[in-house]
Amino acid sequence: MDIVKPIADVIDSFSKLPGIGPKTAQRLAYYLLHVPQTELDSFSEALANLKKRTVLCSICKNVSEHDPCEYCANGNRTKNVIMVVEQPLDILAFERTGKFDGVYHVLHGAINPLENIGPDEIFIEHLISRVKTHSAKATRVKELIIATNPTMEGEATAMYLTKRLKEIMNGNPLKITRLGMGIPTGAYLEFADETTLMQAMEGRREL
């Protein structure tokens, strides 16, 4: 017997999410049948507002309710030290350590030719423009910490970033560092614990 269309539509929607296979999608859909309608309505409203009530920070591209985001708007943070991360979740991971008081730049991905993701598909040029703009100001960027994931894609992105930044600086001093030991190869920063991230920050190396 075929699955009724309302349930099939929900299964299809869940199946499009990363990490959700057909069986899991079915279990989730049938689980929701037993959830009170009020909870379903709240869930639906939260999904509907997910993009309506969030914006990308015009400075760092973090996801926020306001522009600029809380980190860029915070006058107590060190604005001339920028940490470059792949995803907004990586910011949350570093904030849990309580040891970084600079600002961030979110690329929203990494260079991955197999997935047809090149430098133009992520916020690399926006970072380049940001560094160039600040190089002529008193708040010139002194250090740029490349905190992309220690994966093949993350390393490729770090290498590309380093090359582009050195091209535009024209001899102007800019310290470019990469997270040090502590993050195993193939790992994702959002899953790392505070101690591991602190070790990685303290052991970062200059590129």
pLDDT at 3: 86
Spatial contact of 176 and 144, defined as CB atoms under 8 Å apart: yes
| 118 and 62 belong to one structural domain | yes
According to the model, what pLDDT value does residue 79 have? 92
Query: Are 202 and 148 members of one domain?
Result: yes
> What's the Rg (C-alpha) of the chain?
20
138 and 195 fall within a common domain: yes
Give the integer Cα–Cα distance in Å for 189 and 91: 9
Q: Is 4 exposed, middle or buried (0-12, 13-18, 19+ CB in 10 A)?
A: exposed
* DSSP string for 160-199: HHHHHHHHHHTT---EEEE--TTS-TT--GGG--HHHHHH
Same domain? 77 vs 18? no
Amino acid 184: pLDDT: 62
What domain range is 141 assigned to?
A: 56-206
20: CATH: 1.10.8.420
pLDDT by residue for the chain (207 residues), tens only, comes to 588 999 999 999 999 998 999 999 999 999 999 999 999 999 999 999 999 999 999 999 999 999 999 999 999 999 999 999 999 999 999 999 888 999 999 999 999 998 899 999 999 999 999 998 876 565 688 999 999 988 889 989 999 999 998 888 766 778 899 876 566 656 677 777 776 677 677 667 676
Q: What CATH number corresponds to the domain at position 174?
A: 3.40.1360.10
pTM, whole model, 2 decimals? 0.79
Q: Does residue 47 sit in the same domain as residue 74?
A: no
Residue 203: predicted pLDDT: 66
